[in-house]
Amino acid sequence: MASFAERVRALPRLGIGISTEFGAGTSGLDVLRLRAEHPELVSFLEVGCDLARGADDVARRWARSGLPTTYHFLDVNLEEPEDLDAAWVRDSTALARELGAAWMCGDAGLWHVGPRDRAHGTLMPPVLEESSARDLARSVRALREQSGLEVLPENPPAHAWLGRMRLGDYFSLVTEEADGGMLLDVAHLAIHQRALGREPLDGLERFPLERVVEVHVAGGRAVESGGRTFVDDEHGTSVLPETWELLDAVLERALNLRAVVVECERNRQRDVVPLFERVRARVEAAGR
């Protein structure tokens, strides 16, 4: 198979997109209307999917319109290569291709505990150890080879992590071992940095920024619990200052960037338009 450097040149430049999950349109945000009224702001749709529910009518109508999509899986443990059973790979690949996805992506770590069932659904981050990184890389490489689509692991949201590696070192090892790219969620990274008491850009140089193909931006809400402050990754329209700082730094350095997704699928259209405008201004200022 061609190297990452060769494969990434063939990937489309999708621009700025919006995320969706099954049933998200019932909360008031009509992504097709948003695209029709603001084509300069929204270029593609990232479809969050698990096989138990599949793609909803909104995602299918978007795909039938011929507009670009990407496929974000929500139901496989990339950290466990044995979780990529033949049936899951076959059916997920078929759905991604039915939607016309340019590539597949998804949070690294564990999406379920026990059997793959929505009742067992969770999202736990990977263990930051070399053995975990190599297993994750093996999963990424296997899924890429079997699906024929690029596979981008994402840094998930978490306030607590196990393992001795720095997060950037972990994903550098993953992408090197898999010879692939990654999805860097700067909102998730801002949560991680705040939880560890670090400055937003501390350790950013440890990430494989030359392999970042996609970036996520989302709002977060501070909540108090047990005398501590946490950030809820709520995908709202109020973006942390640290997230903006990280976005600007990544846009400047991610030379192979192909897409930026604004995760705001359950908000009102009048509230998300200013958010997209702010993101677009930053993307254009960085020449991306």
Mean pLDDT of 215-223: 92
**Residue 213 predicted with pLDDT over 90:** yes
Q: Domain locations in the chain?
A: 4-285
pLDDT value, residue 270 = 93
SS3 at position 142: helix
* CA dist., res. 49 & res. 72, Å (int): 6
pLDDT value, residue 141 = 98
pLDDT value, residue 227 = 78
Lowest mean pLDDT among 21-35, 37-51, 53-67, 89-103: 21-35
pLDDT value, residue 1 = 73
Mean pLDDT of 70-87: 96
**Residue 191 predicted with pLDDT over 90:** yes
Phi and psi for 263 in degrees, rounded to 5?
-90, 105
* CB-CB neighbours of 271 under 10 Å: 15
- C-alpha torsion sign, points 190, 171, 213, 52: negative
SS3 at position 33: helix
DSSP 242: H
CATH architecture designation of domain 4-285: Alpha-Beta Barrel (3.20)
* CA dist., res. 266 & res. 257, Å (int): 26
Q: Which two tokens stand for residue 83?
A: 């979780």
